Amino acid sequence: MNAIITASDLMDELAGEQPPLLLDVRYQLGGPPGRPAYEAGHLPGAVYVDLEAELAGPAGAAGRHPLPDLSVFAAAMRRAGVRADRRVVAYDGGQGWAAARAWWLLRWAGHPSVRVLDGGLAAWTEQGGPLSTEATAPPEGDFEPRPGALPLLDADGAAALARRGVLLDARAGERYRGEVEPIDPVAGHIPGAVSAPTMENVTPEGRFLPAEWLAERFGELGAAEGTEVGVYCGSGVSAAHQVLALAVAGVPAALYVGSWSEWSADPARPVATGPDRG
């Protein structure tokens, strides 16, 4: 099954006999919480999911958005109505990063059918989709996480993969090169990593470019089918979006959830700067 779905196809599925469950994962780094935006208008039947509280653990040595406690994540997903036998579609305000984090976590935890609404809320409204302000209280779900369905990297694993395979850095190029670092204590990148900004995978409206184009782009970066590929970013959110783009292109990839926020917190870990892999 494709990892993304268009607004028009989602409308068709919602009108069918077995509509998917909708998760609203609106989130903005450093911005206001997403719940007020959800309450102001969301896809009918969608349930709000809080990225900071339900899709990540507390910030600390493991990074700004480490894996959530499995019991917390499981309880949140069951409250949202997630069931093993019901398809799930996640969406956000349009950037796609937060929805991709929900997609990755659910897939990693064993859910068989999760997709992201390509273009998010904006694509839905542009297609003429209605919005609702009614609170959604779905029946309790039965989802039980079974981690390991998607590959996961820790810091040592990311370093090793950068040497034997292809480790993609999903952050903006200037952060990779170490020219600026607005968030973390050290600027630069993991030695051996390849710069691959995730925003280059989408149109200005936030919709994924065609799978053929993505496959060509990743192939030029060395990340082709048959190559071991990993991805990191600042804190494991935009990197999930890159893993999603790779899935659209047909290339499986591992996610380093701790990402640069974990890597740079340890002064013993090496740092490379400049345009080269290092």
Residue identified by tokens 């936030």 is 206
CATH 3.40.250.10 is right for the domain spanning 152-263: yes
User: Which residue pairs, CB below 8 angstroms and at least 24 apart, start in 30-36?
Assistant: 34/92, 34/93, 34/98
Show Cβ contacts of residue 43 under 8 Å, excluding neighbours closer than 6 positions.
Answer: 22, 24, 91, 121, 124, 129, 131, 132
Show Cβ contacts of residue 140 under 8 Å, excluding neighbours closer than 6 positions.
Answer: 78, 79, 81
Q: Which residue ranges of the chain lie beneath pLDDT 50?
A: none
Rounded to whole angstroms, the Cα distance separating 275 from 172 reads 12
The predicted pLDDT at position 181 comes to 95
Known catalytic residue: 101?
no
The predicted pLDDT at position 94 comes to 80
The predicted pLDDT at position 264 comes to 97
CA distances from 80 to 59, 75, 251 (A): 23, 9, 30
The predicted pLDDT at position 54 comes to 96
The predicted pLDDT at position 224 comes to 87
The predicted pLDDT at position 29 comes to 76
Domain boundaries, the chain: 4-126, 152-263
The predicted pLDDT at position 141 comes to 97
| Same-fold call for 4-126 versus 152-263 | yes
Average pLDDT along the chain:
96
The predicted pLDDT at position 1 comes to 67
Query: Hey, how many other C-beta atoms are within 10 angstroms of the C-beta on 208?
Result: 21
Rounded to 10 degrees, the C-alpha dihedral 122/203/244/53 comes to: -40
CATH class for the domain made up of 4-126: alpha beta
Q: Is 138 helix (H, G, I), strand (E, B) or coil?
A: coil
Catalytic pick among 233, 239, 240, 246: 233
